[in-house]
Amino acid sequence: MKHLALLTICLLGCFFSCSDKQQDFPFYNPDLPVEERINDLLGRLTLEEKVSQMMNQTPSIERLGIPEYDWWNEALHGVARAGRATVFPQSIAMAATFDDQALYETFSMISDEARAKYHQYQKDNEYDRYKGLTFWTPNINIVRDPRWGRGMETYGEDPYLTGRMGVAVVKGLQGNDPRYFKTHACAKHYAVHSGPEWNRHEFDVTVSPRDLWTTYLPAFEELVTEGNVQEVMCAYNRYDGTPCCNSNKLLTDILRNTWGYDNIILSDCGAIDDFWRKDARTPRHETHPDAETASASAVRSGTDLECGGSYHALLKAVQDGLITEEELDVSLRRLFRGRFELGMFDPDASVPYAAIPYSVVESPEHVAQALDMARKSMVLLKNKNNILPLSKEIKKIAVIGPNANDSVMLWANYNGFPGKTVTILEGIRSKATNAEVIYELGCRHTTRDSVTSDNGIRTPVDYKAIASKAKDADVIIFAGGISPRLEGEEMPVDAEGFKKGDRTDIELPGVQKEMIKALKETGRPIIYIVCTGSALALNWEEANADAILNAWYGGQEAGTAVADILFGDYNPAGRLPVTFYKSADQLPDFQNYDMKGRTYRYMTEAPLYPFGYGLSYTTFEYRNAQLSKKKIGRDEPVALTLDIANTGDRDGDEVAQLYIKNPNDPEAPLKTLKAFKRINVKAGATVQLSLELPSKSFQSFNDPKQIMEVRPGTYQLLYGGSSDNKDLKSIELTIE
């Protein structure tokens, strides 16, 4: 025992003396310029060590005191996959708030939780995945087609809305300290990526330069040039025959040279494998013969970091002359700059974000914000005869449907795990304290097997029997729609209407239609709560339900938010960030990336519900619209000032929207959103609002020159409460 104690003392003494020596390396000195620290560190690394630091799972370098680090972390709508965290509404829902300031505040809270969790993990010597500071968020791909299962992760179909919301996310995550980034944000998936999920590892996207520059790239450009995003993730698919993570046009010509981006580019997970690996079960691009060639080619194109393991082959690629060590250093400089600027090599005392206490994780303030965002996100689609809000004196309520008591559905995907989740059923029961609330599952999302006996045998539901239990209710609340267990990223789902995470149509599953039709036969009023990550064709429901509330996947406080809206404690004002089509017949082929006929910007048919649409319990009027100038030069900004009057008897939010119609470009969108503002207006009051339009708002694509430019001519500025022409007023502006 004496010898063991002596050995322990010796080992501890060696550890502390080694650590002290390691801290003497110049790259550990926080007072030195970052570039000097990078130079010192790179000069100490062997080629093998350099290669090891170019994949998401970086091993420790013990001789230099550098711990392991995994770059892979998620924070789509809260810190994800890392235990307890506040779960805010899914991204598509937060897009429906049309409130980028509230989104910024939300992601400032998310990055607080991220920092607190990271520093606790460091103290506990936990360095594995989902415990770092580099978050692969936001997803700013455009929802060109509602059948894409990952549309829920985005901010919808509009490039401008996506850009504004994306910048808010980036700034909230990265913080505003002059020296350190709070966390890293990552703009993904670059570029022209929005399904299908089932063939993404081999799919080759062909799209016109006009659609590329006016639809698929604008949000990425905003996050790079305005948001100063620190990471960009290249997509799985090919673009014009070349994998995105090997595309000189996307990565070098546009991202690095045109936009001046010099931060980290990383691959989607396994994307480099798709260059070369052969797999009979998962067809891939197979554009390269082996891992060495694929990895060298990706790095030379600008992909600094791989999520995966193909980059192990870079060692042999250097030895074989396919790439030089100096070329690897270009990427390594970006990677280590990122870690230095996050304070990973500095003492906590030097990093202000290290002082954020762990108590912020799912704190009362953050839970309150989750509730506020859930309320703001919900879109009232129908309210026949003002059946909503319901009276709190109502006597009997029947709550039925597969989403009524499902907490996990509310978390969506890429989620954290809250300490408590309020389901829709629980929210209604807590609110309607004077009512008898009965609950029936009714049916599952896609099957009639809803009743499970004691011996585990499922039996088909009897729709009429379920409906008969609700026949004497004052109101029936049906909570249906779909689920993140049916739509999402490359999923093993083959239910009717669904394929590998995507949808094959946009209809409500047939079993739910049968259930709600049986409920309709009771003659009782039906309030339909829709949970979904994108558009559904709700034609029968629009014609037959008394009210429809789109609740999305609303996060941990969704049930409270639904009840607040149903019973009038919150006046809904969410707006659709995607068009709700009448059927898939209104859509082009899913694999066609051309924008013709897609979204409110190019669709000539009437949709079921238009982009920007949403009802309120009050009414608003737009008055006294004036431009700061009626004529401007091509480089001049302009402002539209107007009054918004609340002409109803309830306080409420209005989302003012400003669209531009460009008659000077025959290929331009029918109209396109260029400004919005969510404001609260008291009942009977009027608020003046100014919507600013910088000169780039009027840019269109010049096909012969292949550039964006402002053309002279007369433009229509359309303003109102949705994109529907009947909701818009017009004023003209001349650009000289």
- d(Cα 97, Cα 76) in Å, to the nearest integer? 16
**How does DSSP classify residue 345?**
T
pLDDT reported for residue 454? 59
**Do residue 410 and residue 474 come from a single domain?**
yes
Residue 461: count of CB within 10 angstroms of its CB: 22
**Do residue 275 and residue 399 come from a single domain?**
no
Q: Which of 556, 571, 602 is the last residue of a domain?
A: 602
**Do residue 561 and residue 647 come from a single domain?**
no
pLDDT reported for residue 458? 74
**Do residue 319 and residue 438 come from a single domain?**
no
Question: Which amino acid is present at 390?
Answer: L
SS3 of residue 342 by DSSP: coil
**Do residue 99 and residue 174 come from a single domain?**
yes
**Do residue 551 and residue 443 come from a single domain?**
yes
pLDDT reported for residue 16? 37
Structural contact between residues 215 and 145, judged by C-beta atoms closer than 8 angstroms? no
pLDDT reported for residue 481? 98
**Do residue 353 and residue 383 come from a single domain?**
no
- d(Cα 492, Cα 501) in Å, to the nearest integer? 7
Structural contact between residues 628 and 639, judged by C-beta atoms closer than 8 angstroms? yes
* Residue 700 forms part of a structural domain: yes
**Do residue 423 and residue 572 come from a single domain?**
yes
Q: Which residues contact 611 (CB under 8 A, 6 or more apart)?
A: 156, 157, 158, 576, 577, 578, 579, 599, 600, 673, 722, 723
**Do residue 310 and residue 404 come from a single domain?**
no
The helix (H) or strand (E) run that includes residue 333 is helix 325-341
Per residue, what are the HEC states of 465-517? Answer: HHHHHCCCCCEEEEEEECCCCCCCCCCCCCCCCEECCEECCCECCHHHHHHHH
- d(Cα 318, Cα 328) in Å, to the nearest integer? 9
The helix (H) or strand (E) run that includes residue 41 is helix 34-44
SS3 of residue 590 by DSSP: coil
**Do residue 107 and residue 122 come from a single domain?**
yes
* Residue 369 forms part of a structural domain: no
Q: What is the CATH number of the domain that holds 545?
A: 3.40.50.1700
Q: What is the CATH number of the domain that holds 665?
A: 2.60.40.10
Number of H helices, E strands in the chain: 20, 28
Residue 391: count of CB within 10 angstroms of its CB: 13
DSSP string, 694-717: -GGGGEEEETTTTEEEEPPEEEEE
* Residue 366 forms part of a structural domain: no
Structural contact between residues 489 and 197, judged by C-beta atoms closer than 8 angstroms? yes
Tell me the CA distances in angstroms from 647 to 620, 644, 651, 680, 685, one per residue in order.
5, 9, 10, 13, 8
**Do residue 296 and residue 428 come from a single domain?**
no
Token pair 């999402």: residue? 488
* Residue 130 forms part of a structural domain: yes
The domain tally of the chain equals: 4
Q: Which of 602, 635, 668 is the last residue of a domain?
A: 602
SS3 of residue 362 by DSSP: coil
Range of the domain at 629: 620-735
With CA atoms as reference, report the closest residue to 89 among 431, 414, 563: 414
- d(Cα 141, Cα 134) in Å, to the nearest integer? 19
DSSP string, 180-226: --SSB-EEEEESS----STTTTT-EE---HHHIIIIISHHHHHHHHT
* Residue 382 forms part of a structural domain: yes
Active site residues: 268, 487
- CA 604 to chain CA centroid, Å, is 27
* Residue 491 forms part of a structural domain: yes
* Residue 671 forms part of a structural domain: yes
Tell me the CA distances in angstroms from 689 to 98, 103, 377, 605, 656, one per residue in order.
15, 20, 22, 32, 9
With CA atoms as reference, report the closest residue to 415 among 101, 175, 130: 130
With CA atoms as reference, report the closest residue to 71 among 170, 137, 143, 5: 137
Locate 605 and state its tokens: 């048919």
- d(Cα 230, Cα 180) in Å, to the nearest integer? 12
Backbone φ and ψ of 102, nearest 5°: -65, -35
CB-facing half-sphere around the CA of 110: CA atoms within 13 A: 36
pLDDT reported for residue 453? 56
With CA atoms as reference, report the closest residue to 729 among 653, 639, 625: 625
Residue 468: count of CB within 10 angstroms of its CB: 13
Is residue 279 classed exposed, middle or buried when 0-12, 13-18 and 19+ CB atoms within 10 A define those classes?
A: exposed
Sign of the C-alpha dihedral computed for residues 140, 143, 148 and 154 taken in this order: positive
**Do residue 305 and residue 209 come from a single domain?**
yes
Q: What is the CATH number of the domain that holds 131?
A: 3.20.20.300
With CA atoms as reference, report the closest residue to 502 among 66, 65, 145: 145
Paired strand residues for 184:
134
* Residue 526 forms part of a structural domain: yes
Q: Mean pLDDT in each 10-residue stretch from start to end of the chain (736 residues)?
A: 41 40 84 98 98 98 97 98 98 98 98 98 96 98 98 98 98 98 98 97 97 98 98 98 98 98 98 94 95 98 98 98 98 98 97 98 98 99 98 97 98 98 98 96 84 67 94 98 97 93 96 97 98 98 98 98 98 98 97 98 98 98 98 98 98 98 94 98 98 98 95 97 98 98
- d(Cα 123, Cα 67) in Å, to the nearest integer? 12
Residue 497: count of CB within 10 angstroms of its CB: 17
Q: Which of 331, 360, 389 is the last residue of a domain?
A: 360
With CA atoms as reference, report the closest residue to 369 among 152, 185, 531, 557: 557
